[in-house]
Chains A and B, each alone.
Chain A
Amino acid sequence: MSVYGGLPERAGGFGAALLAFAEDLRGEGVAVGTSELLDAFEALGHVPWRRQQDFRETLAATLAKSPEDRHVFELVFERFFFRATEAEATRHEFGQPALRAVDSARLDLDQLRRQIAAALTQGSEAAMSDLARLAIAAFAQEGSGVVGVDVQRIRRALGLRAEPRVDLPPDDPRSRGLSREQIRRFEQFLRRELEREAIARTAALPPKRPLTELDRALPTGPIEDLAAVHRVVAQLKRRLATEGHEQRGRRRHAQVDVRRTMRASLQTGGVPVELKYRPRRPRRPEIYVLCDVSTSVTSASTFFLSVVHALHDAFRKLRSFVFIERVSEVTEVFESERDFRAASTAVSRTAGVADVSGYTDYGRVWSEFLELVGDELHPRASVIVLGDARTNGRPPCEAAFQAITSLAGHTFWLNPEPRLYWNYGDSVIGRYEQHCTAFECWRTDQLEAFVKALARSR
């Protein structure tokens, strides 16, 4: 007889369940090692399990070790234990009383709407769970059977919207509008209750739903993309700043300044007791960014401009240029404008200078760029070109490009097109690629890959 009210133990008991949970986590891409599992088991020995909060936090602290992993962990935890409970319930036939029995005529629908909105603003879990069941009882009579569809239908029927509704009295929370986050949470409850009901009806567990990209995305504001770019660029900055240090390795200690050592040795009678080292002077990277803003890369140029914008936050010695047919320097715009939107409008104004026919002319761009900064380029400078290398049939002028790359220490090309389209049509990236390192770059994770490659190449 076990403590769980006489239910027979499942094979393997708790340990097996936890292993299955870890397996689930691994399936969703969280790297859970054996040592971490051992930690989890040991940690659970020190924590009371009376509250789900403590149990969950203990597992999270030992198994999920980054904000992203933590987010996935929450979702998998929810899914796993929901399914585990339901599986047990079906096994023992603890079905829930059928909700259909509730007579919707007896429910005051308007009252229900108000209550749900109030529960949402207070954020009480238990209340939301109960109200979700009530809402399903009231509105799901002619359910479609597809959970996602039903959730949205019920939400609409409940009138849960983010926009403020001025027609309602001011004490109703809906009059000020509900936050998207709260609505999303309530939808989760609805989904869970609908799933639970479906399980009770069919007495079988449906196959588990793998997490989608949307699930995985951390809940953040509309500036998330920009924030992601800033994060990657912060990494880029570190890489560039420590450039070359790792190669020097231990040698960095060995640079004794003989002159200063001898002078210091006079104090100790000519015995060099104190060694004086040459101070280490970190090199300041100098970067030139060339960004294509022509119509063929319209969708990518916002992304690119935000990269440039983030780079300006990170580096002081940075000059940026936009080009279409001609080159135009925009360093000042980015330096004086903190707000990205204002900066990009200012840039599109400046870009007018660079635009004559709206078609990129790489040959002209290279020669003008050389003219502008050719004297300042030196082996410690890096040039980063952001563009699709589509010449519109004009001559690519590799020679001029080669002149730039030979003056600068490193040249990188970030191409917003998938590699599949490279060198098709009027794309001449292959000819430029001989002189520089080219990367495919149209998502932040590819930008991250570029940063990694950058670190490796040095």
Chain B
Amino acid sequence: MVRTHRPDSLKEALSIRGMEKVTVLAGGTDLMVRNRSWSGTLPIFERDVLFIGHLEELKKIREEGEFIILGASCTLAQIMRDGRVPEYVKLPLVQMASPAIRNVATIGGNICNASPAGDTLPMLYALNASLQLNSGKGSRTVNIQDFITGPGGTGLQDDEILTEIYIPTACFSHQYYKKAGLRKANAISKVSFYAVASSSHNCIDEVRIALGAVAPTPVRSLEGEALLAGLEIEALPERFHDVKSCYEQLLNPIDDVRSTKKYRHKAALLILEDFLLKGLRSHA
């Protein structure tokens, strides 16, 4: 039977993490489903479990310079309630899971699960979020894109804990989020699309787009974004074809029990088109 650790501090948590291979459990809303057994019996964990959801040090939200910094054990509901967190960060959160799950599920958990359908990920990709990873030996910072390696795969080392998420803040003229889920609430994404942009004088300064559930990891095309930067809004339609093909190359969706490859592919491109040709034009 596995053991559990409930450390009193991050320092203690890191020291446990340094000594043995443990499963880190913050909210547990994913792990408890994945490892569930018959009701009335213990969930099946292969390794000892380290609880970190209660650590106050990991539950703080703070502003620092150009960053909003979210503790990894912040729940989705806590982030949604916090007045300091910009609306464009909250955009995907309000459509995630259900209220009871958002009260428990953490942002760090959503990142470390690295599900292709993880709904915070496209937002974090587009916002150039970076992650603070701590271990007993020190800490390092890594970009979200470099951290997520594939379905369920991350660069988290066995002695590390994701402690904070750094999100650079900016003044965007456009924020756009579209999720095709299985239904209107409490639904896993079949396709999700997140974009922010800034424009001035009918000219696009910057666009950042990330798509979820259309490839093993979220998709962002720097090439496509470069084609859009500096472009007159009026010139979007003629540039659209080139931009679209940048994204088309990156889409690699699958057929599964929730949707089809074809649906994901087509819907992703239709949403891209809507954002570029309609979304960017409005209230610019």
A binds B: no
A residues contacting B by CB (< 8 A) are none
